[in-house]
Structure 1
Amino acid sequence: MDAFYASVEQRDDPHLRGRPVVVAWKGNRSVVCAASYEARKFGVRSAMPAVRAERLCPEAIFVPPDFTRSKAASTAAREIFQRHTDLIEPLSLDEAYLDVRKTRRT
């Protein structure tokens, strides 16, 4: 689920694949929700001010968060988790703890 929001954008828009994507609104008060691996090469990280991300990676493509699509992708990921364990503790759309000491496949 690393780079989750950026990965959802790249999955849904083929033109973004392989390019530095930053999920954030542009502006002085915005922070980065996620950065693609391509943007991370420039030092862009989640929770960083968007203006700093823009300075670090001027060619980054800024995409505003789409929480409806992200929630759908998160739900699909949780369905995959549930195939392996019932012990899931969700934290947010892009984070969850899974206890896989004893999985359904064992």
Structure 2
Amino acid sequence: MSIWTVSFAAVEMRDNPALRDIPLAIGGSRVQRGVISTANYPARKFGVRSAMPTATALKLCPHLTLLPGRFDAYKEASNHIREIFSRYTSRIEPAVAG
């Protein structure tokens, strides 16, 4: 079984339900050159995607809410999911980026 990487946007929406229905992306700075790490479904409707330059994402969706990453929170959520899966199987593989 492969462990999926927890969507950073999903963790943010879990922790702040007001973010659920608005375009949201986790990633680069508005003022410096940055890259979108992930986007929720409302943002994806505007064409915002992972690995997209932040400037491009903001052109596609000017009202995009952009948050910096909280990687400790994402790791904690991923570990929690791994713990749940381990109750049902010992065959768990970490996700490999790429």
Identify the TM-score tier after normalising by the shorter chain: 0.7 to 0.9
SS where residue 10 of structure 2 aligns?
Answer: helix
SS of equivalent to 2:63: coil
Q: Which residue identity lines up with residue 15 of structure 2 in the other structure? A: D
Alpha-carbon deviation of 1:84? Answer: 2.4
Contact 1:3 1:35 in 2 (8 A): no
Aligned pair in 2 of structure 1 residues 11, 59: CA closer, same or farther (>3 Å)? same
State the TM-score, normalizing by the size of structure 1. Answer: 0.78
1: CA distance, partners of 2:93 / 2:56: 33
Cα-to-partner distance string for 1:30-81 (whole Å, 9 max, x where unaligned): 1111100110001111111111111111111000000011111111111122
For 1:39 and 1:47, the matched residues in 2 are separated by 14
Corresponding position: 1:47 with 2:51: yes
Greater displacement, 19-28 / 30-39: 19-28
Identical positions, percent = 45
One-letter code of the match for 1:57? C
| TM-score between both structures, scaled by the size of structure 2 | 0.84
2:18 corresponds to 1:15: yes
* Letter of the structure 2 residue corresponding to residue 69 of structure 1: A
The structure having more radius of gyration, on CA atoms, is 1
1:2: how far off?
A: 7.3
Q: Which amino acid aligns with 2:77?
A: A
Q: Report what 2:87 is aligned to.
A: 83
Structure 1 runs (4+) greater than 6 angstroms displaced? none
**Structure with bigger RCO (C-alpha 8 Å, 6+ apart):** 2
CA distance in 1: counterparts of 2:86 and 2:6, whole angstroms: 21
Deviation at 1:29, TM superposition (A): 2.5
1:71 to 62, 75, 97: 75
Question: Where do 5+ consecutive residues of structure 1 fail to align?
Answer: 96-106
RMSD of aligned residue pairs (Cα, Å): 1.9
Give the length in aligned residue pairs. Answer: 93
